[in-house]
Structure 1
């Protein structure tokens, strides 16, 4: 799932190429991706793109008095065309969900891989009025130490859950939460309100450093390179069985639902392996 660093990089890419140009056409390959009806998406046509930004995991394309807000869910991403494809956009099994064509002839596609579709697009005059955005917590990268401490003290949830709950803090997903917890030397199963002051301080530094370093690495990259750079920079996420970059121990994994988390037992859990119900069942 796209997180803050790659969405910021994508917004930067689009600002450089689309800002100042008008929307010539909007093609929907899947009407289910559009979650709003008023204003109609066709009202975007003729509007100048005046800015591209982000709120949480939403990409915000400002088109004068309208905003196209896009949530890329788990498997969504963007594709840039210097020249828009000539073939007509038709519903079907293609990953294409939405295409915005500019007056320059260039185009950007919103795509989604897989059969489970979750990408969502909204056309609005005020993105903060959308319930999906109004309920977001503060931006994770902008939290002060005091604000983070207050959030943690107010919940008995596990740290992994707190970091990825968008209503608590926005912008962090499954991947960077693993790396943040590794950098902070904290167990993903640790209870938020049980952290000592020094642990909270380590977590605050880790949020800033991990997200900041990732954002710097992705800045200026093309859309087709951003995800590659993201995955190459992971500390522990998606690196099960590989050596920890700090201590050399094997990185371990816990699987749950349709996701998994990775961590270093030596650096984060005092050498103890966390229970993995899926693996426990396989070993019985």
Structure 2
């Protein structure tokens, strides 16, 4: 699942290429992707793009008189063809929707899952998308403070692994980075937030801000077709089941909660 560091890198990549250009054509392959039935994807045709940004894990194309908000879900992503390039019609994953801008550049929105997780919203304001309206504070924001963190976490009677991924509490963190944060903080994913003492909360705050912001810097400038590879390579415990913990040498194990499979070091995070 794309998380805030990768979505920000995607937004920056697109902002440098399509801001200032006008959408001249759209194509919709998957009818289940649009979520605003009264405003179809074709409504962005003829509109100039003024900026590309991010809200949590959502991509936001700001246009004259509208926003195209893209929820990437579990498997959604984007593919870009420069002006004059011929897109590969057999490329995998398949494009579910696309936008062509006035210089011939082509933005394809893709989905690799067996079910459609990509969501498209044409709205006047991003906050009209309920998931954005409910977003909590973003640890990547320079204005994010310890007070913001404490309001989201301190005393909560909820498993800390789930809480870190709760977008209404902390925006932009998913399964992978929550694993990395908890490993850096030396906290078990089984722990409840209400059971964490001040020292553990100090470690968790430092790990949350540090992990997210370091990832933002590390992903900056990486081509969008290599971001998933870069993210995977940077993981210390997530996706490393059976491998040695880089800190203590213990064996990384799986942790299952509902339909989620996560990883942790049972030695470091006892």
- TM-score band, normalised by shorter chain: over 0.9
Match of 2:108 in 1: 109
Post-superposition Cα deviations, 1:216-254, rounded to whole Å, max 9, x if no partner, equal: 111001110111111110011001111111111111112
Match of 1:122 in 2: 121
Name the CA distance, whole Å, in 2 between partners of 1:33 and 1:15. 22
Name the CA distance, whole Å, in 1 between partners of 2:247 and 2:89. 51
**8 Å Cα contact 1:235/1:245 also seen in 2:** yes
Post-superposition Cα deviations, 1:139-188, rounded to whole Å, max 9, x if no partner, equal: 13343112212322342001001000111111000000000000011111
Query: 1:258 offset after TM fit, Å?
Result: 3.6
Match of 2:190 in 1: 189
Match of 1:46 in 2: 46
More helix by share: 1
Query: 1:46 offset after TM fit, Å?
Result: 1.5
Query: 1:87 offset after TM fit, Å?
Result: 8.7
Name the CA distance, whole Å, in 1 between partners of 2:159 and 2:192. 5
Name the CA distance, whole Å, in 1 between partners of 2:216 and 2:88. 35
Name the CA distance, whole Å, in 2 between partners of 1:94 and 1:11. 20
Match of 1:61 in 2: 61
The 3 A distance-change label for structure 1 pair 211 and 94 is: closer
**What's the secondary structure of 2:50's corresponding residue?**
strand
Name the CA distance, whole Å, in 2 between partners of 1:220 and 1:226. 9
Match of 1:81 in 2: 81
**What's the secondary structure of 2:250's corresponding residue?**
coil
Please report the TM-score for the alignment, with normalisation by the length of structure 2: 0.93
Query: 1:199 offset after TM fit, Å?
Result: 1.1
Name the CA distance, whole Å, in 2 between partners of 1:161 and 1:116. 23
**8 Å Cα contact 1:2/1:72 also seen in 2:** yes
The 3 A distance-change label for structure 1 pair 84 and 136 is: farther
Moved more, 148-157 or 206-215: 148-157
**What's the secondary structure of 1:139's corresponding residue?**
coil
Post-superposition Cα deviations, 1:32-81, rounded to whole Å, max 9, x if no partner, equal: 10000333322211111110110011100111221100011111111111
Match of 1:231 in 2: 232
Name the CA distance, whole Å, in 1 between partners of 2:152 and 2:225. 36
Give unpaired runs (5+ residues) of structure 2. none
Q: How do 1:1-284 residues align onto structure 2 when only pairs under 5 Å count? A: 1-82=1-82, 83=84, 85=86, 95-142=94-141, 143-269=144-270
Name the CA distance, whole Å, in 1 between partners of 2:247 and 2:87. 50
Alignment: residue pair count: 266
**What's the secondary structure of 2:268's corresponding residue?**
helix
Name the CA distance, whole Å, in 2 between partners of 1:20 and 1:171. 27
Moved more, 79-88 or 94-103: 79-88
Give unpaired runs (5+ residues) of structure 1. 270-284
